[in-house]
Amino acid sequence: MPQGISPKLPLTIDSQDGKYALNKTLRQAIAQNLKNLVLTAPGERIMNPDFGVGIRNYLFRENAAPLYAEIKAKIIRQVDIFMPFLRIVDVGFLSAHDDPINISDNAIYVKIIYHITPLGTDDSLDLTVQ
């Protein structure tokens, strides 16, 4: 029988893991859960209207320092509530002004560096939202 922690998203068929590909390490599962927390808009998750950062809701606002501070604060608050075993080390942003080749004007690039307390290790999540 296949061994895994959770289904890998998006769901893909994988004959090695069974019906679907699986996250096989805690680091993979945590990274996937953090990504879901950042992408999920408040009110989108059934029975938990306070869950989520909703980073897509910020896409058409001015890409500047006050926006980044607001998103960073929301990420830290949400992680404290829903993933208390993580400690946010840093949240960094890039805009089209910083990297015009790889980032469009209507995109937010965020890099979240976090410490996984039970594992005693650091990891990061790079996410571009368009």
Residue 84 has pLDDT above 80, yes or no: yes
Identity of the residue numbered 16? Q
Model pTM? 0.90
Q: Dihedral angle at the C-alpha atoms of 24, 52, 114, 86, nearest 10 degrees?
A: -80
pLDDT tens for each residue of 96-115: 667 767 777 778 899 999 99
Q: What are the sequence ranges of the domains in the chain? A: 26-129
pLDDT tens for each residue of 21-51: 999 999 999 999 999 999 999 999 999 999 9
Q: Please state whether 52 falls in left (phi above 0), alpha (psi between -120 and 50) or beta.
A: left
The hierarchical CATH code for the domain 26-129 is 3.10.450.40
Residue in this structure with the two tokens 């897509």, named with its chain if needed: 56
